[in-house]
A and B are shown apart, each in its own frame.
Chain A
Amino acid sequence: MTRVRPLRWITGLLLVLLAPGSWALDPEPPLADPARQALYEQLTHEVRCLVCQNQTVADSTAPLAADLRREIHAMVAGGRSEDEIKTFLLDRYGDFVLYRPRLQASTVMLWLAPVLLLLAGALTLGVVVWRRAALPSDQDADENPPATTGT
């Protein structure tokens, strides 16, 4: 006779619920080719849902996101390249549709700003340090506080 072990059942159920796949809202069937499926997943995580602008189409439950997933799925299954699919979306929705905008004249500042800010910061730091170093050392003064009078 087997004994019912409630703890095991609960643990098992919890594990099933916590498995990432069981929460997926994407009804599109997985593609047979793992490389294509990976491209599909990469793209849906990189394309913005324009109705709910701070979600990707992979995260969003909006009907438009479902439509875009279906279109991307069909294009990936049909053998279109990553670049072709992105161009398809850009032609219709503009640069905003990609979370990672392409490097072009209008986005060059977006891509270069972090590097430029980092360089500006490093330069400022360098100048400050260099100037400090050029000052006469006050090391001795710190180590030998001025003698107090009256003792």
Chain B
Amino acid sequence: MTRFLLPIVALALLVALLVVGLNRDPGYVPSPLIGRQAPAFSLPRLDDPARTLSNQDLAGDVALLNVWATWCSGCRQEHPYLVELARTSGVRIFGLNWKDDPGLARQWLATLGDPYVATGVDQDGRAAIDWGVYGAPETFLVDAQGKVLYKHIAPLNAAVWQQEFLPRIRQAREAGR
């Protein structure tokens, strides 16, 4: 029996490794920004390009930064939920309009509703690179001091909000008190 022990243990280890590996989402790329200060940005606002949206606007309380574009189907899918959050959650949502046509973006907000306190226009995608954005929609949770607490990649929904965002928001607000 003992001569089969080693190969069986080796096989079991390999199977365990493969099972874990296959159950991981290869599309998920953890953000190195989490726990760090949010990247500095200053972008023209969608509603008034003469004004800017920057880190100072986000500071003071927890805030969401939602990366969206009119060409992104997942953004359309999550949009009604963002509108609901803006109405009921008491958390400020800021928009980052990524590589988009500002005219189409304004039209989108006019027809679908505008959940954002303000939206910054990142037409050349430079600010998005600083934030490590690679696939809209992405939503960052930033605390009152400008530290990135969490990043969600995919449309936001009630389940994600309850499980991932709410506990972190509560914790951040209690810590800030």
Contacts and interface: CB of A to CB of B under 8 A. Distances in A.
Nearest to A120: B10
A63 B123 CA distance: 12
B126 to A, nearest CB: 8
Interface in B58-100: 99
A53 B27 contact: yes
Contacts of A90: 32
Nearest to B124: A67
Given A63-B99, A67-B125, A71-B129, A51 B32 contact: no
Main secondary structure of the interface of A (DSSP, over half): helix
Contacts of A91: 32
A39 interface: no
Interface string B20-31: 000000110111
Interface in B10-39: 26-27, 29-33, 39
Contact of B29 (A64, A67, A68, A93): A93
A51 B125 CA distance: 14
A70 B25 CA distance: 29
A92 interface: yes
A1 to B, nearest CB: 56
Interface of A: 50-51, 53, 63-64, 67-68, 71, 90-94, 96
